[in-house]
């Protein structure tokens, strides 16, 4: 369960339906070209919070069918609807996903007792292992070292996807819980997290930049920091241009230049205007050498 995991994107058609052919192509690109160690399915990058329960199940099924046992699969099942989260957790466990993950419950100002009960409720109903998905900037939920410790008391909770710039807390978690898995969630901070001895990373830009992510992570592990820093610099140049042009839409357009039917984003995400489509192609030519 260690290494570089792509936060998998999903191909949708113009009506917002899952494009199975395109989704399979995105999966194959990640496995055959980027050669990542695993896939994180139905997270933010998969537009999970914009789709129905049945679409989520459809995506889980297609990805598992395409991947088989080739790489590790983590299924993000978190939802404000606890019944949906449990239903999806059971569904992917039956599909033999290697682990489940769940974003912290958001929007309502849940206290920590409610957050802890949310995770424990999911795990009471499924025989699988859990990766906490902590992303305070989008959920508004920040947890401290003691609270992570309380969650980790549940032996089924094996780690955390840590998408935050708090490297002090990251180091404290690493020191206090050496047996738990820590995945970095900020692609632009991969090197900084890697020197703190994380176990891997989960990122959206790995859909097009997985090879560099693997190099950064592996070089940092080998103590080749200067080489890793140079690759992180190029990676951050790429990320800056992607963000300026539109994150998910640009990654999909870049995948299209690689022959991948990456489709469209679901509304209310906008469709890129022609000038931004052209810019995405130029970014791909610059960084992907197409």
259 CB contacts (<8 Å, ≥6 apart)?
25
45 is in an annotated binding site: yes
Q: Can 161 be counted among the known catalytic residues?
A: yes
Whether 142 has a binding-site annotation, put simply, is no
The answer on whether 179 is annotated among ligand-binding residues is no
Residue of 72, 161, 214, 252 marked catalytic: 161
Residue 44 marked ligand-binding: yes
- Ligand-binding annotation for 79, yes or no, is no
**10 Å Cβ neighbour count for 91?**
19
Task: List the catalytic residue out of 133, 183, 248, 287.
Answer: 133
Q: Is 204 known as a binding-site position?
A: yes
Q: Give the per-residue SS3 of the chain.
A: CCEEEEECCCCECCCCCECHHHHHHHHHHHHHHHCCCEEEECCHHHCHHHCCHHHHHHHHHHHHHHHCCCCEEEEECCCCCHHHHHHHHHHHHHCCCCEEEEECCCCCCCCHHHHHHHHHHHHHCCCCCEEEEECHHHHCCCCCHHHHHHHHCCCCEEEEEECCCCHHHHHHHHHHCCCCEEEECCHHHHHHHHCCCCCEEEECCHHHHHHHHHHHHHHHHCCCHHHHHHHHHHHHHHHHHHHHHCHHHHHHHHHHHCCCCCCECCCCCCCCCHHHHHHHHHHHHHHCCC
Active site residues: 133, 161
Annotated binding site: 44-45, 163, 185, 187-188, 204
Q: Which residues are annotated as a binding site for aceneuramate?
A: 44-45, 163, 185, 187-188, 204
């Amino acid at each position: 369960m260690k290494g570089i995991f792509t936060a998998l994107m999903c191909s949708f058609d113009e009506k917002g339906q899952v494009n199975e052919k395109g989704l399979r192509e995105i999966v194959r690109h990640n496995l055959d070209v980027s050669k990542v160690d695993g896939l994180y399915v139905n997270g933010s990058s998969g537009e999970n919070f914009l789709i129905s329960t049945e679409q989520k199940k459809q995506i889980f099924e297609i990805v598992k069918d395409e991947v088989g046992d080739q790489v590790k699969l983590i299924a993000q099942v978190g939802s404000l609807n606890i019944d949906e989260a449990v239903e999806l957790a059971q569904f992917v466990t039956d599909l033999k996903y290697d682990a489940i993950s769940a974003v912290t419950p958001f929007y309502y100002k849940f206290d920590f007792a409610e957050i802890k009960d949310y995770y424990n409720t999911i795990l009471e109903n499924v025989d699988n292992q859990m990766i906490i998905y902590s992303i305070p900037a989008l959920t508004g939920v920040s947890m401290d070292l003691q609270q992570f410790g309380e969650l980790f008391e549940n032996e089924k909770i094996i780690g955390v996807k840590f998408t935050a710039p708090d490297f002090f807390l990251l180091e404290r978690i690493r020191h206090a819980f050496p047996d738990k898995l820590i995945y970095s969630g900020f692609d632009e901070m991969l090197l900084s997290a890697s020197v703190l001895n994380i176990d891997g990373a989960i990122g959206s830009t790995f859909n097009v930049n997985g090879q560099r992510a693997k190099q950064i992570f592996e070089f940092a592990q080998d103590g080749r920091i200067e080489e890793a820093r140079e690759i992180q610099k190029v990676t951050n140049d790429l990320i800056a241009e992607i963000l300026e042009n539109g994150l998910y839409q640009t990654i999909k357009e870049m995948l299209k230049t690689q022959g991948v039917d990456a489709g469209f984003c679901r509304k209310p995400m906008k469709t890129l205007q022609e000038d931004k489509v052209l810019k995405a192609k130029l970014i791909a030519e610059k960084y992907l050498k197409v």
